[in-house]
Amino acid sequence: MSSDELETDVVVVGAGNAGAAAAVAAREQGARVMMLEAAPEDQRGGNSTYVGGMFRVVYNGVDDVRQLIPDLTDADLANIDLDTYTEAQYFDDVGRLTQFRADPDLTEVMIRQSFDTARWMQSKGVRFQLAYGVHGYKHNNRFKFWGGGAVQIWGGGPELVNAWHARLQRENISVLYGTPTLSLLYDDDGVKGVLAKREGKTTRILAKAVVLACGGFESNAEMRARYLGPGWDLAKVRGTKYNTGGGINMALAIGAMPTGHWSGCHATEWDMNAPPFGDLTVGDSFQKHQYPFCIYINANGERFVDEGADFHTFTYAKYGGEVLKQPGQFAWQVFDQKTAHLLREDYRIKRITKVQADTLEELAQKLEGVNADKFLDTVKAYNAAPRPDAPFDPNILDGLCTQGLALNKSNWALPLDKPPYHAYGVTGGITFTFGGLMINTRSEVQDTAERSIPGLYAAGELVGGLYYHNYGSGSGLVSGAVFGRIAGREAAKLAKAK
């Protein structure tokens, strides 16, 4: 074998959450595994490094949560309301958010294997914690977790990637950094490996199976404009610059079936002056998700979404797209002091676009790019709108709504009347794209006749069919881990059979 040719049992393309799960699962089955990561080592992990770490997992009560977080004490639980997040609740949320378009078979696998996969990840060194302040607030001296979001990765994305790569090292799984994959090696019998660029040389890597886990096309401006539409080429990228759709395109080139919502994506509220791609020194903290407790204002000085339509966990991934539709692709989130205590640490970082004033009139002059007179009219009408006699409660859909406005706010509609006022400038930050490759429940990539392509598996963001229109926070990490584990296991079985 020449220096420009390598050989292994299973090649995993991508070194984030889905790829690491695949590699570790394949190694469990006794396969030799090689991982290819386009990024250098200090930028490894794809979008997984940039995530906040929410993990949308089924739990049927405190006992399940304690299995994932064994250091949770009785004292910790004394002032916490955990409730449950059952399979039925999970199915209802996925159906509602995707307008019942999500692939039912893949959704069933993701949901029903979510808890077991979390336990498996835990056995490999990944730690979990309660999502304090993210999906739970202290109200009347008790923390309540809502929307199925009680569990998150300890330390967020960076620690998730560190934990996975520590396991890869213990399992003697080699990771070739700075090694982008160029194409699949393929003949009439199926996929036989990949062609990659290693240390500046084109290298054949022969394998009995290949797992693609290298992200969607969110970092490719040309593909964003082509599939998502005009203006999306200008969007800021929330995470890695290396997710350019290469895995999707190389699979399509050998006849894979495209599926899913190709004109849809996960786009969140992102600081308007954030850099074009994610910055690991800031991580996920450019996000601004507390808009249910503010009013959103565009350049015309008008509101444009129902900020309180639902918990942010069920609206944040589509409201970033709504911001991008506004004039100038920006908006301001305007708060007063009644809800300032609910703002997450993301609103307190040094690199932030923020203005503050003691009066609304003064604030209006500081909202760059906004029609000040129209802004004041909007706030006046919002404050004067009738409301039911309902108590404000951030942990429930409290029904504190405006009435009679052209666009009412459905919950948490406190008037803006307690200075000082503060506002945060945001744009849309794209996280990942929804269109991708068709797989079956064994993570086998399907061709255009919906037959499995021998030797080719996929997991993570480049899988299509799970997300349409919207997204529930934390389900991306779950689907990546669930189908990554399946892909690695099945790829190893195939390699052993060969």
Q: State whether 340 and 480 are in the same domain.
A: no
| Number of domains present in the structure of the chain | 2
Q: What is the reported pLDDT for 133?
A: 65
- Claim to verify: residue 28 and residue 91 sit in the same structural domain: yes
Cα dihedral 345/346/347/352 (nearest 10): 130
Asked whether residue 125 is domain-assigned, the answer is yes
Phi/psi at 187 (5° precision): -140, -165
Residue 78: predicted pLDDT: 81
Query: What length does the chain have?
Result: 498
Is the domain of 406 the same as that of 444?
A: no
3 state DSSP class of 465: coil
**Domain-ending residue, one of 387, 405, 429:** 429
Is residue 232 assigned to a domain? no
**DSSP assignment letter at 85:** B
pLDDT given at position 203: 97
Instruction: Provide the residue range defining the domain that includes 346.
Output: 267-429
- At residue 1, the pLDDT reads 53
Ranges in the chain, pLDDT < 70: 1-3, 133, 135, 139
Which pLDDT value is given to residue 82?
A: 80
For residues 49 and 164, membership in a common domain is answered with yes
Q: What is the DSSP letter of 235?
A: P
Contacts of 443 (CB under 8 A, 6+ apart): 211, 457, 458, 459, 483, 484, 486, 487, 490
What separation in angstroms does the CA of 425 have from each of 105, 367, 428? 40, 8, 11
The answer to whether position 235 is within a domain reads no
For residue 408, which phi and psi values (nearest 5 degrees)? -80, 155
Task: Compute the distance between CA of residue 147 and CA of residue 308 in angstroms, rounded to an integer.
Answer: 14
The verdict on residue 226 lying in a domain is no
475 and 404 in a common domain: no
14-64 residue pLDDT tens: 999 999 999 999 999 999 999 999 999 999 999 999 999 999 999 998 899
Nearest to 213 by CA among 497, 41, 493, 463: 463
Give yes or no: residues 361 and 472 share one domain: no
Q: Where among 384, 408, 429 does a domain terminate?
A: 429
The answer as to whether 451 is a domain residue is: yes
Q: Kindly state whether residue 456 falls inside one of the protein's structural domains.
A: yes
Q: Are residues 441 and 425 in the same domain?
A: no
How is residue 133 annotated by DSSP? T
* pLDDT for res 147: 75
pLDDT at 2: 56
All residues at 6 or more sequence positions from 19 whose CB lies less than 8 Å from its CB, including other chains: 12, 13, 35, 46, 211, 213, 214, 459, 460, 484
Question: What is the per-residue pLDDT for 148?
Answer: 81
Same domain, 290 and 197: no
Same domain, 78 and 29: yes
Is 301:365 a contact under the CB 8 Å cutoff?
Answer: no
Spatial separation of the C-alpha atoms in residues 389 and 479, rounded to whole Å:
42
Q: How far apart are CA 365 and CA 388, in angstroms?
A: 32
Q: Is residue 236 part of a domain?
A: no
Q: Return d(Cα 218, Cα 50) in angstroms, integer.
A: 14
Question: What is the CATH number for 68?
Answer: 3.50.50.60
**49 falls within a domain:** yes
- Domain identity same for 167 and 99: yes
Residues 154 and 71 in one domain: yes
- Residue 171's pLDDT is what? 96
Are residues 333 and 321 in contact, defined by beta-carbon separation less than 8 angstroms? no
Based on the domain organization, do 111 and 199 belong to the same domain?
yes
Asked if 35 and 175 touch (Cβ cutoff 8 Å), the reply is yes
CB 214 within 8 A of CB 38: yes
Q: Which of 429, 459, 477 is the last residue of a domain?
A: 429
pLDDT number for residue 376: 98
Q: What is the CATH number of the domain that holds 393?
A: 3.90.700.10
